[in-house]
Structure 1
């Protein structure tokens, strides 16, 4: 599931569950909505992501690229090492700022 929240300068996507081929049908609509909001900063909250494949990575890359073309920035928050590796293998890690200060609020009951 992907939820969109906005403030005057920021769009935040909170992503939970798998970000993969099975979810690709929703990516074009979400991309259009985010691009249409025209905020300078896009925050991708990945704390709830359980799995990301190259299709999910391509979705994140397209969002970051669209923001960069408008002079904006994209921040990855709560992204684990596995997901960072996927983006690195895709050659796209430099499109993102990594929020290294964020600590995800993990639900210990589900861990």
Structure 2
């Protein structure tokens, strides 16, 4: 699931679950909404991402590239090493600022 929140200067995407091929149908609509908001800073909260493949990476890359062309910046927060590796293999890590100071709030274990 991808939730969008805005402030006067920032758009924040909070992503939870898998960011992969199975979720790709929602990517064009989300990208259009983010671009349409025209904020200078895009923060992508990856704290609750459970898996990202190259399709998810391509989605993030397209968002960062769109923002960069408008003079904006894209920040990744809560990204684990596995996700950073996928972006590095794609040759796109330089498109992002990495928020290394952010500490994710632990998710309580599921009952059952």
After TM superposition, the score normalised by the length of structure 2 is 0.97
RMSD (Å) for aligned C-alpha atoms = 0.6
Question: Where in structure 2 are the equivalents of 1:11-90 lying within 5 Å?
Answer: 11-90=11-90
The CA deviation string for residues 13-35 of structure 1, in whole angstroms up to 9 with x for no partner, is 00000000000000000000000
Query: SS of the counterpart of 1:71?
Result: coil
Deviant stretches of 4+, over 2 Å? none
Q: Which runs of 5+ in 2 are unaligned?
A: none
Equivalent-residue separation in structure 2 for 1:108 and 1:26 (angstroms): 27
Equivalent-residue separation in structure 1 for 2:100 and 2:8 (angstroms): 24
Query: SS of the counterpart of 1:51?
Result: strand
Instruction: Report the number of matched residues.
Output: 110
The CA deviation string for residues 27-56 of structure 1, in whole angstroms up to 9 with x for no partner, is 000000000000000000000000000000
The CA deviation string for residues 73-105 of structure 1, in whole angstroms up to 9 with x for no partner, is 000000000000000000000000000000000
Equivalent-residue separation in structure 1 for 2:107 and 2:42 (angstroms): 25
Q: CA deviation at 1:109?
A: 2.0
